[in-house]
Amino acid sequence: MTADQALEPAIRVRGIVKSFKDLQVLRGVDFDVTAGSIFALLGSNGAGKTTLVRILSTLLKADAGTATIHGFDVAAKPGEVRESISLTGQFAAIDEVLTGRENLVLVAKLRHLKNPGAIADDMLARFSLTEAGNRKATTYSGGMRRRLDIAMSLIGNPPIIFLDEPTTGLDPQARIEVWQTVKELARTGTTVLLTTQHLDEAEQLADRIAILHQGIIIQNGTLAELEQLLPPAKVEYIEKQPSLEDVFLALVGDTTVPAGKEAR
Ligand SMILES: Nc1ncnc2c1ncn2[C@@H]1O[C@H](COP(=O)(O)OP(=O)(O)O)[C@@H](O)[C@H]1O
Ligand SMILES: [Mg+2]
């Protein structure tokens, strides 16, 4: 890494515009991602998250604007950008007939790395898949599969990883597993840009959250900064008629909630 790369953000996005025919998807997107941080791009379905990730990973050309990844311009230096990133999409690149370990060895060989077996074992350990390593990927749960997919994309140690909706379609337990994986990645210095439709995911993981809405970033800040945008909580005193539930509780004199009134 050169001195310049250390000083500038890992990802810099300026005025990115993209339309598909008459559909204006991105209308001037700006943000920076600090090296080693987790940045969440939050937006509803169809907001343009995948379109932006595809532009940043050189799979798609922007109509206007610039983006630099690890100091390399996506339009001028696509090869260098690709060497600096990994991309994990919503749909896993796993070969189901192979074991988890064989999938990892295959990727290491495709990238012409030395000791593919050792790299695979290291990844299995990092992603808590050692025990499952010699089982076929068909037998993996959703969370294991997503972890294997992320592990495969990290072979070669790219400094920046794009995770496009990494937990969409996963059950709650698997989501937590993937969250732990993502936190671990950032802890070891990888810059993570993840997209999500889920507020709780951004809240759990991200150092900064940017909200993509109608083609632009409408808010960008830490969770604490975004929370401050809400008006302060108001305290109001109102006279309240006791409900049947209040009467019931007063009469029976205990705190058991009547049937059908359990907290959800
Ligand atoms: N290749 C394409 N051709 C035409 N329209 C597209 C193409 N890719 C995406 N879109 C449209 O652009 C909008 C944004 O899509 P996308 O970036 O996938 O959103 P998100 O990932 O936030 O759900 C959607 O309306 C989608 O239908
Ligand atoms: Mg998408």
pLDDT in tens, 58-104: 999 999 999 999 999 999 999 999 989 988 876 667 898 999 999 99
Mutate to test the pocket of ligand 1, among 29, 50, 52, 194 (most ligand atoms within 8 A of CB): 50
In the reported structure, the alpha carbon of residue 159 is separated from the centroid of ligand 2 by a whole-number distance in angstroms of 22
Instruction: State the distance from the centre of ligand 1 to the C-alpha of 23, rounded, in angstroms.
Output: 9
For 216-230, what is the mean pLDDT? 87
The domain that contains 10 carries what CATH number?
A: 3.40.50.300
H-helix or E-strand spanning residue 52? helix 49-56
Residue 113 forms part of a structural domain: no
Would you say residue 256 has pLDDT above 70?
no
Output the residue whose Cα is nearest ligand 1's atom 7: 20
Which listed ligand is nearest to 41 at the C-alpha? Answer: 1
The single-letter DSSP state of residue 206 is -
Q: What is the 3-state secondary structure (H, E, C) of 88-122?
A: ECCCCCCCCCCEHHHHHHHHHHHCCCCCHHHHHHH
Selection from 147, 156, 149 nearest residue 190 by Cα:
156
Nearest CA to ligand 1 atom 18: 50
Q: CA-CA distance, 202 to 196, in Å (whole number)? A: 7
Which residue among 24, 51, 56, 213 is best mutated to probe the pocket of ligand 1, counting the most ligand atoms within 8 A of its Cβ?
51
What does the pLDDT read at residue 195?
95
* Each residue's pLDDT tens digit, 148-180: 998 898 888 899 999 999 888 888 888 888 898
CA of 21 to the centre of ligand 2 (A): 19
Ligand 1 atom with minimal separation from the 45 CA: 23
Residue 146 domain-assigned? yes
Contact 195, 41 (CB under 8 A): yes
Average per-residue pLDDT for the chain: 87
Range of the domain at 235: 3-97+132-252
* 258 in any annotated domain: no
Q: What is the mean pLDDT of residues 194-205?
A: 91
Of 16, 17, 18, 25, the residue with max ligand 1 atoms within 8 A of its CB, to mutate for a pocket test, comes to 25
171 within a domain of the structure (yes/no): yes
Strand 191-196 with 38-42, pairing: parallel
- Across 204-208, 239-243, 254-258, which has the greatest mean pLDDT? 204-208
Residue nearest to atom 4 of ligand 1 (CA): 20
Q: Kindly provide the residue ranges of all beta strands, DSSP E only, lying in the chain, ordered along the sequence.
A: 11-20, 23-33, 38-42, 64-69, 72-73, 85-88, 160-164, 191-196, 208-213, 216-221
Instruction: Give the model confidence (pLDDT) of 97-156 as tens digits.
Output: 999 999 999 999 988 899 999 999 999 998 889 999 999 999 998 888 988 998 898 888
Residue 219 lies in a domain: yes
In the predicted model, is pLDDT for residue 184 greater than 90? Answer: no
Domains: count for the chain: 1
Q: What is the pTM of this model?
A: 0.81
> What residue ranges line ligand 1, CB within 6 angstroms?
20, 23, 25, 43, 45-51
Query: In this structure, how many other beta carbons lie within 10 angstroms of the beta carbon of residue 12?
Result: 17
pLDDT confidence of 263, banded at 50, 70, 90?
very low
* Distance of CA 210 from the midpoint of ligand 1 (Å): 19
